[in-house]
Structure 1
Amino acid sequence: MADLDAFLHEMQRFRASDEAREHLVSEILARYKSLSEEHTHLKNDYLSERDIRRNYQRTVEEKQNLVGEYERQLESSSFVLALIDGDGAIFQDALLQAAVGDGGSEAASRLQYMIRNHVATLYSKSDNWPIMVQIYLSLDKLASKLAQVGLLRSPPELRAFVQRFNVNQPLFSIIDVGQGKERADYKIKEMLRTFSDNPTCRHIIFGGCHDAGYLLNLEQFKHDISKAARITLLETTPAYRGFTELSNFKHTRFDAVFRSEPLADYASPTTTFAQPSMQGPTQPPPGFRTMTKNGSPTVTPKSSITSPSPSTTPVSTAVTESNSDSSWATVGKNGAPTNGSISIAPSNTKMNARKKYAYYNKDGQRLDEPLPPKDPAAAASLEARMKKGGKKMCNHWHLGGHCENGSFCNFQHEPKLTPAELNALRYKTRSLACKNKFCENIDCYLGHQCALERDQGYCQYPDHCHLRGTHGMDRVKYVRYDKDGNEDYAP
């Protein structure tokens, strides 16, 4: 009996041991299964990450190759652009006087050499960049002016100069924009806007510092250092103060190519011309050819070339103004010139008296001439007519002489105003400020400066004046333009 109990006890112990072993094996198998699943997940994650990494590396390599290709394409298509206002940036006297010879070709060679040297100081890999030069000017007007001052024998010589200039370099062009001062400005401003954000245009040389009208177009770049660094301001004749204050821009001068002084009003009696030269254009660094009297080119070191400033002995000093402004060069009506020179210019006082001018200060801001005294009766008549008709006067029709709206205009056209009423209407329109303080429309009838400040020295309505934006502006006349864009500087 005792043995049976012992056997049963031993059997129970075996059973408990088997259960413990079974439980242990089950637990091991469960943990193995869990670890196996975790291993599978990790393996899948690893394989996925490996594929992603390989794809990323492949993509990076492709992008790097693409960037390298873009950089090569950018470098191969990079160029330098020079935008020059040829109405104010005038070529050197010696080059123009050799217009029928090799002057135009020589001018292109010099300009190409000067631009190449300047760009090389800014960029290390600019040797292969093509140089595109666009010079915009009014050919007939400039030709007449150059012939007048004795730099050309006759106006047609300028066309020969332009042809030789354009042929010398494949990307150099002198472009005739026709009559009108604003035409060259419009072209240059639009070209500047178009190419300032073009990545292939690596640098722009802007030759318009003689015209304050361009300042507004450069204002947007003056605080953007990266864009300003891509623009060089080319100074020829004395630059307006606003350009000299643009410190983030590069500044340069090409005195071997362009005059540093404005054109004289009359020809110098000592003017000589070079004869035509059959020798083709050359570009011999570090010197330039200079045009001599017999037309033969000589090599002159670059450092020895300066901008000539010929003395000017006026043939005539007679200038008839539309107003009596003592700040401009005028001749008395009742006496001869005191310097002994005699005017041979044709006199037509009636015609010249009607000539219109637009006046500007040294900053290029438009100035207004005082109007004749206003007739109170005419002003009252004008107001009564507008009140009776229920419409204001059409400024374009009465002051400009033309209205594009014709019979569909919402303002009064007929009957015509009397001269006194027209003057009263000018007073009304002058009280409205022109949006462009550098306005070049010579017939603009809006106000460009406060008349009270101009005439009295102060404005008693500083906070309500429609032209308060002009308060404090320089009121001294510096330059004036006629309808053809001819300029005349105050002494």
Structure 2
Amino acid sequence: MATAVEEKNDYRRRFEEIRSVENLRDVLVEEVLAKLSVVTSQLDAVTTERAREVSVLEADLESEKEARRGWQDKAASFRQRLLGMVFHEDFVSRGLQGGYDAADKFVGKVREHLSSLSPPFEDAKTVPIMVKAFANRSGLAHAYAGNKKVVPPISINHFWIGFSRRYPLVDFVDVGLGKEEADNKLREVLAIYIGNPQCQHMLLGCCNDAGYVPVLRPYVAQASISERITLLSAGPVQAVMENLGFRITPIFEPLFISRPPLRAPPSNLPGENGSQSVKVTQPIVDSILASSSSSSSPVPEKPVKNCGRLRPIIRNGVGKRIDKPLSVDQKLVQTISKRNLCYWHYLRADCMTASCSRKHEYPRPLSPGEYDALWHVARQGMCYRLRNGVDCTDDQCLYGHGLV
């Protein structure tokens, strides 16, 4: 039998074995935990990197979406303008003769509209009409690309020539490529002639282009100008244009291709030469400006003898045009103002506007004091070019340009 000592030693040995196993278990647990910590850290790093990459990709995707939406808006805007007012292919396909016919019908529609006004133009059937069309001729073929009737480029060129040749005052001007080329010409023409007292009425074909809203908005509150403006349409009218409140006529629609309306791109907006003007805007035939004088044939103006008082142009140190200093008697200003004299007739040249409501019977030329008093009154109205952000280079402009 084992002695007590032997049993004690046996217990101690077996205990040491058990404790050794436990130590090995603790070491194993520590190794596993250490390994798990490393793997977890690596996983966290990978997850963080993947999340960053996903975030970058999502940002890139959103940027691409925004860019695509931007191009879609631009494309929609371009299509909206492209399909706005394009002469019917029945005219263009017939080349030279089609150009003649289009000019005849267009001028005829102008006269028809003048006769429909209240009061109507008494000389609507004889008044000279001036038409200027600004366009990118090389792009005109794209307007007819989707039509069943193919219009060859040679027919387009001949149509262009025929339209220009039909009348001495009718021109089709090729401004070439460039989104704003024709628009800039029309804005300048509008700014220059809107203040001409011979300009009795203007027809503007820009209902399809909301870009003209800022150009036209300054004239809305000026009854003397807004009454002389008619917007002509060739299909659906954009709401922002309609909300301006100008007269709108659809009588020109038979001359142009009828197309379904396109949704205009989002907008932050709420809601021209001679006696009469017509402007038709589209990037194909970007614009047509027709104007007429108030007499049956052009009559040259007879300058007032002392109209030289309007010259020369004065500019300040930074090149901005300013008004010539005038020394006037305020009592004389009040007296001359009550006479309701025609500014143009007494300051510049014969008034050729038959419908002018101001007086023309007072003797001419005015005395120097009367002249400056009337000029002082006229300058209370700001120059129309200046209102439209255009530099006035007319050395006989009689309206205001700013303080001395």
TM-score of the aligned structures, taking structure 2 as reference length = 0.42
Compare the two structures and name the one with the higher helix fraction. Answer: 2
Which structure carries more relative contact order (alpha carbon 8 Å, separation 6+)?
2
TM-score of the aligned structures, taking structure 1 as reference length = 0.35
